[in-house]
Structure 1
Amino acid sequence: MTNPPPQAHDEPFEQPRPRGVSAALRGTAYRYGPRSRHARRRTGLRRLRRACVMLLVTVLAAGLGGYAWADHRLDQAVDLGAYGPRPPAGAGTTYLIVGSDSRGGLSAQERADLHAGGGGGRRADVMILLHTGSSGTTMVSLPRDSWVTVPAHTRPETGKHVPAGGDKLNAAFSHGGPELLLRTVEHNTGLRVDHYAEIGFGGFVDVVDSLGGVRMCLRRDIRDEKSGADLRKGCQDLDGADALAFVRQRHQEARGDLGRTRNQQRLLSALAHQAARPDSLLDPAESYGALSAGLDALVVDRGMSLRDLAAMARAVRDVAGGDGRRMNVPVSGVGVPTSKGSAVTWDRSEAGRLFRLLRQDRAVPADLPPG
């Protein structure tokens, strides 16, 4: 009995053998047919997917770990409600950003290098209201010499009750710390401050240096012995010490403290823009160093999270990119004599109008001057 001829599906599959293909390759082509190649492709894709999933999980775990680490590092020391009743909540989000002359952590040599003097305690050199919401972002500087009503309070160091009365804005910070400053700002503006962020001399210098400096373009030479500023006209990268001197100097500004507040806004915006550069974000050493320096330097309110801090930084960056407005509070007088020396007085009508717009989260019109 003869065996039946083999069926077509029993025959081994053999690839066409193009000329010039080596024997080894011909053998490989012979052993693996189309179905085997498809299976190998599916296996490779499965492995690739598994590798991508593992990589994603690893990145997310590292990110969450870093977020928890950073959130834990925040110094959430400020109690927003420490001084009694507060204005009702408005629309949008309002931040109070403060640069203090705190010398905490600075050695005697560092204080000398930074022209920081030897004063104890801390005072507010920079005070900026930052409002962000559906109508955009507005950055309003409050001159430290603003003549305002400081609400009644108890001096923490003496326990003495002080009735409400007129004083300079930075005196509120000196007498009652961030809590009294915040309450004074709320009392005089009618705005409810949602979050507070403060940075001292040393921390500011560290943040600027960790970012490799900050790019600034100056319209003229600046030389000021009190702040230590010795800067030349033109575009340049300022290190931490030079940046601090730039925001502190006011004696060469046309309008003194008002000119200084404009410089402070310019540098804060430039710093936020610098931190958001792609090369800064993609450089692990630089981004970690800046984050670590920032967390060590900041004092924030008890309710501020890392997410809130990032939102504040984005708002400052947006203003730097032209998506927002920078201005001083409208004023009616500069160098006005008072019982506490010369001061800056606000234009109550125009300032009141500005604060109402911010409270209602409405756009600030162009007819409100930048101050």
Structure 2
Amino acid sequence: MKSRGVRHRTVLLVLLRTAWVSLCAVVLVAAGIAWSTVSTISTSVERSYALDDAPRSTSGRNILIMGLTTRLDLHGEPLPDDVLRRMQAGESDRGGYNANTLILLHIPASGPAVAMSVPRDNLVPLSSGGEGKIKEAYGRAKIVEEDRLRAAGTHDKRELERAGREAGRRAQVETVSTFLNQPVDHLVEISLIGFFHIAEGLGGVDVCLRAATKDPLSGADFPAGPQHLDAGQALSFVRQRHGLPHGDLSRTRRQQAFLSAVTKRLKGADVTAVQAMIDMAKQDVVLDARFDLADLARNLPSEVRFDTLPIEGSAHLGGLDVNKVDQAKVQAKVTELATAPPPPPPNDGIPCVD
């Protein structure tokens, strides 16, 4: 048992050179560890068929990583009360099905990979028609599909949830793919409970803040300076956007800082923590049906760098704050990053953030 755990951790440390992908990518890599050692794919991981007919990249691979706001499990059931309490994220009926984290991970045929964060409030054309925030494509399509099925006589709650989520995944992929002018080869989906389980499995993480901050909406209440966060505090840390200098863009930088902390934590993790990460991925992660994780583990570049796609500013539309974007500039930036990734972070320390 000990040698098996050592093998798991050895593979993990190799893959964790990809630390600057996203919190979801860490989950993906952690999920791939056990399967790569036995060259099989676990049947207990939820699979999606939303990409079966989607076009593929002709150069490298693109993986869309989505973090959902829902407080429900994969079957649409409420999380246990004690878990909700420790998450500090409100009741089960909060959050909806917005894709608040959207990251396109581009893995080229050679050279370093790049992870491109798409700000969630970008105003874009939605695959279902009309304009909306890019994060809304999933939830809108889910509602439409569930309503269609109910009208046709389907009333089983789990069947509605499954079909609704598949429609949501398809719509989110199509919306992001069209906006970025990039095919999506693979899909990774994770909800808030998965973010929470990462920090919980590792016994918390270490971060650093430039200034003290408090936000009752996310539960954030942190002093300035270096500090250790438990799982609930860590979730508040990556969720907070109110009271930060640049709102959602500050939250994106926090995700990067959190990834640095997760990476350092994993480098010193024992076998129990590694196994907890693997078990977490089996219950919290959804992958597309054609995603071969063992192949990813064999071919993932040794270096992955992180950047955020540009916005032009903010606007107030229909009572909502949105990001104005120049689609041509965004697509040009995607091409630039795919061919010339940003430089690596200046040091291996945990960066202080807002």
What is the TM-score normalised by the length of structure 2?
A: 0.70
Distance apart, 1:77 and its partner CA:
2.2
Measured in 2, the distance between the counterparts of 1:298 and 1:310 equals 17
Q: 1:4-59 deviations in whole A, cap 9, x for unaligned? A: xxxxxxxxxxxxxxxxxxxxxxxxxxxxxxxxxxxxxxxxxxxxxxxxxxx99xx9
Match status 1:144 vs 2:144: no
Partner residue of 2:101 out of 121, 126, 132? 126
Distance apart, 1:303 and its partner CA:
1.4
Distance apart, 1:357 and its partner CA:
3.3
Gaps in structure 1 of 5+ consecutive residues:
1-54, 153-163, 367-371
Match status 1:245 vs 2:236: yes
- Return closer, same or farther for 1:107/1:345 CA change in 2, 3 Å cut-off: same
Match status 1:74 vs 2:45: yes
Q: Please name the residue that 2:290 is paired with.
A: 303
Measured in 2, the distance between the counterparts of 1:132 and 1:168 equals 26
Q: 1:203-262 deviations in whole A, cap 9, x for unaligned? A: 221121112222222222221100001122222232221111111110122121121122
Q: Please name the residue that 2:60 is paired with.
A: 92
Q: Secondary structure at the match of 1:288?
A: helix
Residues 41, 292 of structure 2: 8 Å contact kept = no
- Return closer, same or farther for 1:65/1:328 CA change in 2, 3 Å cut-off: closer
Measured in 2, the distance between the counterparts of 1:243 and 1:308 equals 31
Match status 1:169 vs 2:149: no
Q: Please name the residue that 2:336 is paired with.
A: 357
Task: Give the AA of the match of 2:139.
Answer: S
Distance apart, 1:287 and its partner CA:
1.5
Q: Name the count of aligned residue pairs.
A: 280
Q: Please name the residue that 1:30 is paired with.
A: none
Q: Please name the residue that 1:234 is paired with.
A: 225
Gaps in structure 2 of 5+ consecutive residues:
9-33, 74-78, 142-167, 344-354
Measured in 1, the distance between the counterparts of 2:98 and 2:207 equals 26
Q: Please name the residue that 2:199 is paired with.
A: 208
Q: Secondary structure at the match of 1:351?
A: helix
Partner residue of 1:332 out of 312, 320, 328? 312
Measured in 2, the distance between the counterparts of 1:311 and 1:102 equals 32
Measured in 1, the distance between the counterparts of 2:113 and 2:287 equals 20
Q: Relative contact order (C-alpha < 8 Å, sep 6+): which is higher? A: 2
Could you tell me the percent identity over the aligned residues?
29
Measured in 2, the distance between the counterparts of 1:255 and 1:126 equals 16
Measured in 2, the distance between the counterparts of 1:65 and 1:346 equals 40
Q: Please name the residue that 1:117 is paired with.
A: 91
Q: Please name the residue that 1:45 is paired with.
A: none
Measured in 2, the distance between the counterparts of 1:73 and 1:337 equals 44
Q: Please name the residue that 2:274 is paired with.
A: 287
Task: Give the AA of the match of 1:140.
Answer: M
Q: Cα RMSD between the aligned structures?
A: 3.0
